Amino acid sequence: MDSLIAARNLVKTYPGVRAVDGISFAVAPGRCFGLLGPNGAGKTTTLEMLEGIQPPTAGEVLYRGRPLDRAYREVIGIQFQATALQDFQTVAESLAMFAALYPRTASREELIRLCNLDDLLDRDTRQLSGGQRQRLLLAIALVNDPELVFLDEPTTGLDPQARRNFWGLIETVRGRGTTVLLTTHYMEEAEHLCDEIAIVDHGRIIAQGSPAHLVRAHFPATVVRLPEAAWPAAAPLPDGALRHDGEIKLFAADVPDLLGDLARVGADLRELRVASPNLEDLFLKLTGHDLRA
């Protein structure tokens, strides 16, 4: 399938910093693509080059195979990480103002229903809670019924309940056929929402694929966790084991074999836990540092 939007070897340098260092990927129509990485990895800069907000230092962005033009702004929707809305406007007025800027708009009623804004229409935008505000910003991003919507860290700063609600909204948007491109540093968010993710660190993509595939490709099926104190100081760690955050993580395709090995070196198995490896483990393995550093 042809890609809707593609990044070709994007580079962005600021004086003294190479924020984005050659990023390429393509997103097919109707898919949800996520850029996962810690703060400062270059996710937002990459996204802004794709949005047409910042020109790349090198490389190019293609939409439906063509360079970006003025009409591009009419078919995309953007939810920035930090957006101030004009003061002294109600939710309804903000929606109306943005709707007036586009030649083609989504149905107002549908948008309000989709983003649960019914009870907030007359509220001053400065009085919204974090979750309510993100819902309004999503509604504004969708006001022109875009083919492609960009969400830059859409749930950062929200409480877990509000985050779950917001995920539900994004799934509804996807269900309508809209292509979604998002950045996040929450690995559950990437796992929950994205068909495909690119793990970004220091301006480069270090791994790319579907969340499940990525984890499977890099790890055996199971991860066994032990408190660091449970490991005998004299014994060396086996290959592929990770020491992180007071824990030792051991990866194994065959758990009984691993348990036998652990018993032989004399590890204390009373606080042992067995789980599936996740993207956080993957990030730690690939970069040697924490996703939320």
Question: Strand 247-252 and strand 222-227: pairing?
Answer: antiparallel
Asked if residue 78 binds other proteins (CB under 8 A), the reply is yes
Q: Which of 83, 105, 165, 222 binds other proteins (CB under 8 A)?
A: 83
How far separated are the first and last CA of the chain, in Å rounded?
Answer: 37
Contact segment (CB under 8 A) with other proteins among 58-66, 80-88, 112-120, 189-197 equals 80-88
Task: Determine the 3-state secondary structure of 229 from DSSP.
Answer: helix
Site for other proteins (CB under 8 A): which residue of 1, 16, 66, 103?
Answer: 103
CB of 102 to other proteins, least distance (A): 6
CB of 100 to other proteins, least distance (A): 4
Asked if residues 196 and 249 have their Cβ atoms less than 8 Å apart, the reply is no
3-state helix, strand, coil in the chain (%, to 5): 35, 30, 40
Query: Which among 37-45, 86-94, 180-188, 220-228 is the span making contact with other proteins, rule CB under 8 A?
Result: 86-94
Residues of this chain, 231-260, that bind other proteins according to CB under 8 A: none
Query: Which residue intervals of 34-178 are DSSP H helices?
Result: 43-51, 72-75, 91-100, 108-114, 130-141, 160-175
The answer to whether 222 contacts other proteins (rule: CB under 8 A) is no
Query: Which is closer to other proteins, CB of 70 or CB of 264?
Result: 70
Size of the site for other proteins (CB under 8 A): 25
Instruction: Provide the binding-site residues for other proteins, judged by CB under 8 A.
Output: 51, 53, 70, 73-74, 76, 78, 80, 82-89, 93, 96-98, 100-103, 140
